[in-house]
């Protein structure tokens, strides 16, 4: 089955949309409060979704498709880094888990942006807590896998764009 660029990007937008809806479901229906790293993972999915939607609406030729794929790799790689850090924190021994720090809103409002981001990525005890699993995988492990699938798709998509259709 060979999907057009537009159709595939609308489908990928829909997947990102559903992942974000699922995150809100877990937060507001199931009562699982997101840690700062979870929120950054949501932002990465939102960035990816927006780029997929814009790419689908624009429906560019080969060069534009390649540019959109590279642009979408940026939030995808950011998601891989954040989810990877989150998984690492969850697998630390109990005595190595960082202590809980101030909340995300407090850090953003009261610290310079660089300091706030540094504290967020160091993680805290709440980021190491495992409060939900599916098929033995934690939510950060599942999101890491999802980001890796997206990244693989984007890289393969970049490689599949024919050099003949590019202007050089």
Q: Which domains does the chain have, with CATH numbers?
A: 5-160 (1.20.1550.10)
17-31 per-position pLDDT tens digit: 999 999 999 999 999
CA distances from 87 to 72, 77, 133 (A): 23, 15, 13
**Average pLDDT over the chain, rounded to an integer:** 87
- Stretch (H or E) spanning 90: helix 62-90
Residue by residue, DSSP assigns 119-156 as HHHH--HHHH----EETTEEHHHHHHHHHHHHHHHHHH
pLDDT value at residue 121? 63
58-87 per-position pLDDT tens digit: 999 999 999 999 999 999 999 999 999 889
83-141 per-position pLDDT tens digit: 998 898 888 887 777 666 666 667 777 777 777 767 666 655 567 777 888 899 999 99
> How far is Cα 51 from Cα 88, in angstroms, rounded to an integer?
28
Q: Which residue has the higher pLDDT, 33 or 119?
A: 33
- Asked if the model's pLDDT at residue 163 lies above 70, the reply is no
């Amino acid at each position: 089955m060979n999907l057009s660029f537009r159709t595939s990007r609308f489908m990928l937008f829909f997947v990102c949309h559903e992942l974000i809806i699922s995150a809100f479901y877990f937060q507001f229906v199931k009562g699982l409060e997101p840690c700062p790293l979870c929120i950054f993972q949501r932002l990465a999915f939102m960035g990816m979704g927006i780029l997929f939607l814009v790419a689908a609406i624009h429906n560019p030729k080969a060069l534009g498709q390649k540019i959109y794929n590279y642009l979408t790799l940026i939030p995808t790689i950011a998601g891989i880094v954040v989810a990877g850090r989150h998984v690492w924190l969850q697998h630390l021994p109990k005595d190595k888990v960082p202590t809980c720090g101030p909340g995300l809103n407090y850090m953003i409002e009261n610290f310079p942006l660089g300091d706030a981001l540094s504290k967020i990525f160091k993680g805290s005890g709440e980021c190491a807590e495992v409060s939900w699993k599916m098929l033995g995988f934690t939510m950060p492990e599942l999101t890491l896998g999802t980001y890796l699938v997206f990244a693989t798709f984007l890289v393969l998509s970049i490689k599949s764009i024919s050099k003949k259709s590019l202007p050089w």
